[in-house]
Amino acid sequence: MKLSRFVGALAAVASATLLASAPVRAADDFPTRPITMVVGYEAGGPTDLIARVMAKSMTKILHENVIVENKPGASAHIAAMDVMHSPPDGYRVLVTSLTLNVNPLLYPKRYDYDSVKAFAPVSNWNTAPMVLVVNYNSPFKSVADIVKAAKANPGTLTFASSGIGGSAHLAGEVLSVDAGLKMTHVPFKGNGPALQEVLANRISFMFYPSVGIANYVANKQLRVLAVGSKNPLPDFPGVPTMDSLGFANFDNSAPWVGMLAPAGTPQAVVDKLNQASNEAMQDPEVKKAFAQFGVLVNGGSPDDFRQFLIQDRARWADVISKGHVETSK
């Protein structure tokens, strides 16, 4: 009996040791199968384009396929919920933008989560300044033209966005408040579909992240009337900043794009994904693509991203309050 008890105790200790070391070994071996980046927007939009560029580079770095899966809808909340409730093993991650923080601010009952508690922040990839665009043949040749027309015909002018609470929506609402305008917001399931309506001249204008529109401008399909950055953007020479036109703080509407894993993902896995992200951002092909997109590279550690998310949430709470954007308590 004594021997059997001793053998049993040894087995229990060995089992506990194996269980304790399993996550470490899993992190050391990670990844051993494809990783899926879930994007809450339609294919072709800014977040999707950035995710695909990063996925291609990270595939080479991690020696496993990194694929992009689009799950649009509910201002990217469908994708957020998908990843939030996925196994915390690093194989299903979220690539998203500011709606992650804005959704709970606008609809706290519907979107009841804390971004830095429900997810493990991995890496803040970049920031894309907003630009105000119209169809190239639009009668509006300046922001002043838009303001004048909106005042003369309240509710007639339309502006598109990727969805309620998205950066384009909030930027449009801030313009409405600052200029004393009444305009009609038309939300879509992503910036890509919204931009198509502007290109078709069925929507008056929209604020669009400075990603993937250079060709439209060069081909005289779109006209950029203003940029939402503090300083002029080299990609759009001669285009004024919103700040220079008397509309301050539009740089706060610039959306970021980053990657998060489900809460509880082992820190070693998070760190490995972060390292791969930072390496990818140094990839010449990624640098070239980001330069073409006109985005500003961020990078940094998982904790840097966590602190950014906390500050970002406070910033958007202030913008929503000052912009009088309707919320649902």
Residue 220 tokens read as 């005289």
Cα distance from N-terminal residue to C-terminal residue, the chain: 65
Q: How confident is the model at residue 327 (pLDDT cuts 50, 70, 90)?
A: low
Residue 239 DSSP code: P
Q: Is the pLDDT of residue 23 over 90?
A: no
Q: What are phi and psi of 284, to 5 degrees?
A: -55, -35
Candidates 272, 271, 274, 259; CA nearest to 309 is 259
Per-residue pLDDT of 241-297, as tens digits, reads 999 999 887 776 788 999 999 999 999 999 999 999 999 999 999 999 998 888 889
What pairing do the DSSP bridges indicate for beta strands 35-39 and 92-96? Answer: parallel
Q: Is the pLDDT of residue 197 over 50?
A: yes
Same fold, 32-127+255-323 and 130-253: yes
Residue 286 · residue 52 · CB < 8 Å: no
Residue 151 · residue 181 · CB < 8 Å: yes
Question: Mean pLDDT, the chain, as a whole number?
Answer: 88
Q: How confident is the model at residue 5 (pLDDT cuts 50, 70, 90)?
A: low
Q: CA dist 316 to 6, 80, 178, Å? A: 61, 18, 16
The angle formed by the CA atoms of residues 53, 54 and 57, to the nearest 5 degrees, is 95
The verdict on whether omega for the bond into residue 31 sits within 30 degrees of 0, i.e. cis, is yes
The angle formed by the CA atoms of residues 95, 100 and 104, to the nearest 5 degrees, is 160
Q: Sign of torsion, CA 319 312 294 158?
A: negative
Q: What pLDDT sits at residue 78?
A: 95
Residues 131-135 have a mean pLDDT of 97
For residues 254 and 271, what is the distance between their CA atoms, to the nearest angstrom? 26
Report domain extents, the chain: 32-127+255-323, 130-253
Q: What pLDDT sits at residue 326?
A: 65
Class of domain 32-127+255-323: alpha beta
Q: How confident is the model at residue 165 (pLDDT cuts 50, 70, 90)?
A: confident
Per-residue pLDDT of 238-250, as tens digits, reads 999 999 999 887 7
Q: What pLDDT sits at residue 328?
A: 53
Q: Is the pLDDT of residue 323 over 70?
A: no
Q: Is the pLDDT of residue 184 over 60?
A: yes
161 has which bridge partners?
A: 187
Q: How confident is the model at residue 21 (pLDDT cuts 50, 70, 90)?
A: very low
Candidates 228, 124, 80; CA nearest to 168 is 228
Q: Is the pLDDT of residue 191 over 90?
A: no
Q: What pLDDT sits at residue 96?
A: 96
Query: pTM for this structure?
Result: 0.76
Q: How confident is the model at residue 4 (pLDDT cuts 50, 70, 90)?
A: low
Q: What are phi and psi of 183, to 5 degrees?
A: -130, 165
DSSP symbols for 100-145: HHHHHHH-TTTS---HHHHEEEEEEEEE--EEEEEETT-S--SHHH
Per-residue pLDDT of 25-69, as tens digits, reads 556 799 999 999 999 988 988 899 999 999 999 999 999 999 999
Q: What pLDDT sits at residue 211?
A: 74
Residues 169-180 have a mean pLDDT of 87
Fold of 130-253: D-Maltodextrin-Binding Protein; domain 2 (3.40.190)
Burial class (CB in 10 A: 0-12, 13-18, 19+), 297: middle
Q: What pLDDT sits at residue 164?
A: 79
Amino acid code (one letter) for 93: V
For residues 136 and 61, what is the distance between their CA atoms, to the nearest angstrom? 41
Beta strands in the chain (DSSP E): 35-39, 66-70, 92-96, 119-127, 130-135, 158-161, 184-187, 205-209, 222-227, 256-262, 296-297
Q: Is the pLDDT of residue 76 over 70?
A: yes
Residue 293 tokens read as 């997109």
Q: What pLDDT sits at residue 10?
A: 46
Does residue 324 or residue 175 have the better pLDDT? 175
